[in-house]
Structure formats: structure tokens, C-alpha cells
Amino acid sequence: MEFTKMQGLGNDFVFLDRISSSAEDSAEDYPQLARKLCHRQFGIGGDGLIVVLPSKVADARMRIFNSDGSEPEMCGNGIRCFARYIYDQGLIISDPMLVETGAGILKLKLFIKEGQVQGVQVDMGEPILRADLIPVLGEGEPVIGQSIEVSGEKYLFTAVSMGNPHCIIFVEDFSSLDFERVGPAIEKHSLFPRKTNVEFIQINSPREITMKVWERGAGPTLACGTGACASVVASILNNRTERIVTVQLPGGDLFIEWGLDNHVYMTGPGNYVFKGNWLGL
Ligand SMILES: N[C@H](CCC[C@H](N)C(=O)O)C(=O)O
């Protein structure tokens, strides 16, 4: 089975193209396939599996599966790779490009120089701030400065959805944070009925933050696009930054703007790693 490996700021994905190839997978295969293909030793390795599919309502459809097999609503780093892939394969050349996702139909603009895709700007749509839609068992809209207790320690968080749930916690410095313990404890905390991605944010200036992320269904990753968007929304809601912010991630920088139109715009790269053939042995 042919696949393409891609990455966006080190958040890496195995791509299966079900527009160009006639392979017949059934929908129930994907969670199991994601677990198998994403395994770092027994498989190809990746934070997730992305399936390229035809769409009746957009130029193409993206389905994303975390490495644990769960299917989230959206993936920010993944959709930038997706846009580059379908453009380079000549599958879609419309500008802007419309992609059907679990978080709705998103509009993407490709920055092309000498025929090469240099970067992608994604209109991520409007942030979801209502507790019941995130979902989080919390009060009010937005959910700001709510406390959560994990292993005897209390943290204040802000909850934002970009189609998928995010729990954002501001930290003074990362050295005092037990990331590997607190991350998974919050991911699976009962306050989040569908679990949650967890972002720890350090404010460097009104236009720059540093983010560490523990992803729902994937664990620690080098970058999270939806998480970077949610973190900028949370920073603005808490009056910590302006509306245009550079998000420094372990894998590189993302450029985020929460526009006055209430849409969040994310700009960043999408890159190839290799193509291959899964032998499944
Ligand atoms: N783990 C996430 C999905 C992948 C999101 C992330 N890789 C991104 O770039 O947005 C979730 O379960 O909501």
C-alpha cells in the first residue's frame, strides 16, 4: 500500500491518497490502520494518519486519525500538508482551496514561488467558546480561569475549541512543570467528556508566546496547529497578547491572527519526508 510521509513543524503524518489510488479500504479500517502505521518501531511512524478523499461539498475531504486510532475533528498542521499534497499531485488547483473536515469546510490559501508551495494560510473559522460545545464541564462563555485539580495540584485553565477541544494553561516557566505527568492527567480528566488537547503557554511578549503541547490521542508532539490557534485565542481572552501572535513550538514557529472578523488565521509550512510502500509484514 503506497503512502506519503509529511510533516508540519515536526508534527508528522502518514498520508493515504484515496483520490488517486483505487484501493478500497473500509471506514472501519482506519482506526486500526492508524495504530499500525503510526507505530514508531513496528510501523512507519507518525503522530497521525491522514486520508485524502473526494468530497461532494468541497474540493477534497480530509479525515485525520490520531496515533491511538481516535478520529478528531481537525488537524491544523495536517491540513497544511494536505493542501500542499493535493496541489502538488495536481488533484486540486483552485485558489483558495476548500477542504471538507470534521470542523466544517475550511478555506486555504497557498503561497507559491517558482512553482513550489512555500507555505499555507488556513482560515480556521471561528473559535468555539461555549462550554457545552467545547465540550467542558465548566461555567460561562468563555470558560476562563477555571480551576482543575490533577494529582493534588490546582491549575487555572481557559478552554477553547477549534473544532477539537483545547485546555490552555499559562505557566511562568516550564522548568517547574511536570509535563509528562500533568499532560496525560488533564487529557483524560473528567472535566472534558471527549478528553482534550493540553497546551502550556509562556507569554514572551504581546506578540510572541512559547507553547508545549500534550495532544489528545497522540501525546507529546513537536507542534499542534489547532492548539496554537486555541492558545492565541486564550491569550487574547486573558488580555495577555495582541491579535497577531508568533507561536514558538518545539518544531518551529506558527503565525496566528484572530481577525476582527472573528476568524482565526494560521500560516505555516507543510513538508514531505518520504514516499513508500507499506508491506504490512
Ligand atoms: N490530537 C488532536 C488532533 C490533531 C491536532 C494537531 N496535530 C494539529 O496540528 O492541530 C485531537 O485529538 O484533537
pLDDT of residue 27: 64
Q: Where are the domains of the chain?
A: 2-125+268-277, 143-262
- pTM for the structure as a whole: 0.97
Predicted confidence (pLDDT) at residue 139 exceeds the cutoff of 80:
no
Counting ligand 1 atoms within 8 A of each CB, the residue from 66, 186, 192, 254 with the most, and so the one to mutate, is 66
pLDDT of residue 281: 67
pLDDT of residue 151: 83
| Cα–ligand 1 centroid distance for 14 (angstroms) | 14
| 196 within ligand 1 shell (Cβ under 6 A) | no
pLDDT average, residue stretch 84-101: 92
Confirm or deny that 216 is annotated as ligand binding.
yes
Confirm or deny that 204 is annotated as ligand binding.
no
pLDDT average, residue stretch 47-70: 97
> DSSP letter string over the chain?
-EEEEEEETTEEEEEEETTT------TTHHHHHHHHHH-TTTSS--SEEEEEE--SSSSEEEEEEETTS---S--HHHHHHHHHHHHHTTS---SSEEEEETTEEEEEEEEEETTEEEEEEEE--PPB--GGGTT-S--SSSEEEEEEEETTEEEEEEEEESSSEEEEEE-S-GGG--HHHHHHHHHT-TT-TT--EEEEEEEEETTEEEEEEEETTTEEES--HHHHHHHHHHHHHTT-S-SEEEEEETTEEEEEEE-TTS-EEEEE--EEEEEEE----
- Is CATH 3.10.310.10 the right assignment for the domain spanning 2-125+268-277? yes
| 161 within ligand 1 shell (Cβ under 6 A) | no
pLDDT average, residue stretch 163-174: 96
Predicted confidence (pLDDT) at residue 124 exceeds the cutoff of 80:
yes
Active site residue 75: yes
pLDDT average, residue stretch 28-53: 95
pLDDT of residue 93: 77
Topology at the third CATH level for domain 143-262: Diaminopimelate Epimerase; Chain A, domain 1 (3.10.310)
| Cα–ligand 1 centroid distance for 64 (angstroms) | 8
Q: Which of 38, 81, 167, 224 is catalytic?
A: 224
| Fold match flag (2-125+268-277 vs 143-262) | yes
Percent of the chain clearing pLDDT 70 (strictly above)? 99
Q: pLDDT tens digit string along 198-219?
A: 999 999 999 999 999 999 999 9
